[in-house]
Structure 1
């Protein structure tokens, strides 16, 4: 019993320690709409590998921005991720160059951008459709170098 309590306490503190501060991000559509989000930044190997794994809930205006060192063909997957997600692949200027909607929870299939990207924004599945986000739209955030 005591070992179980210690294990659960360790899990709790590990999850609190891994919770990241959220920063503002705005998606601007070609139609002129601006959608505000609060996102976590994953900008090192460990944070990118962890991503949104084990996350069971996420508000519609939240997400995670994955930052890579240079533009490249990025591949993602949904291993240990219970939430369906939309993925926006962004170039170095924050322009949406590819989209993947409603990624299947827990899938180990790779999701590959068709164009080179420097960032990936993951949001709740269905967000792309709900907000009318399309290729060519712009994402602004300090982490992208475009401010929000």
Structure 2
């Protein structure tokens, strides 16, 4: 029990750091996962280097305040359970394509060319477990469509 005050102090410090980073407008840059995310389309496979947003904090900050992202990069959001997901573009200067992915990796919806800084809700078309954010125009450029399959170690199969 004597460690409880120290633990609470540590948790408060971590929370304050995260809140400060979000409030400051500084982008959160996560490490790129070593394993590429591969999408199988009708015309072949396309690979992306992805950052993983798997905690409430990383999902909340996402790609906020990012000024650019490499063409073959993205951010994969993993949610704790399959459900309807509501996204937005608040504090996000990049226009994005959002790919909504179900439990087994099937792309069930795509929101193309989202509006930077918009607080309008971008909803998944139904229950999903993952959302992949890519630069706007990537889905069209690479022929990614509903029904295509995404593979990555984070995505259960």
TM-score, L = length of structure 2: 0.80
Aligned to 1:28: 40
Partners of 1:37 and 1:113 lie apart in 2 by 21
Q: Which has the larger radius of gyration?
A: 2
* CA shift digits 1:45-92 (9 cap, x unpaired): 000000000000001100000000111010100000000000000001
Please list every run of 5 or more consecutive structure 1 residues that lacks an aligned counterpart in the other structure. Answer: 1-9
Structure 1 residue runs of 4 or more that deviate by more than 4 Å after TM superposition:
none
Partners of 1:20 and 1:99 lie apart in 2 by 24
* CA shift digits 1:94-142 (9 cap, x unpaired): 1001110000000000000111100000000000110111110001101
Aligned to 2:118: 107
Partners of 2:77 and 2:99 lie apart in 1 by 10
Partners of 2:52 and 2:125 lie apart in 1 by 23
Partners of 2:43 and 2:137 lie apart in 1 by 20
Structure 1 residue 116 corresponds to structure 2 residue 130: no
Aligned to 1:7: none
Partners of 2:124 and 2:30 lie apart in 1 by 26
TM-score, L = length of structure 1: 0.85
The count of corresponding residues between Structure 1 and Structure 2 is: 133
| Contact 2:26–2:65 (Cα < 8 Å) also in 1 | no
Structure 1 residue 94 corresponds to structure 2 residue 72: no
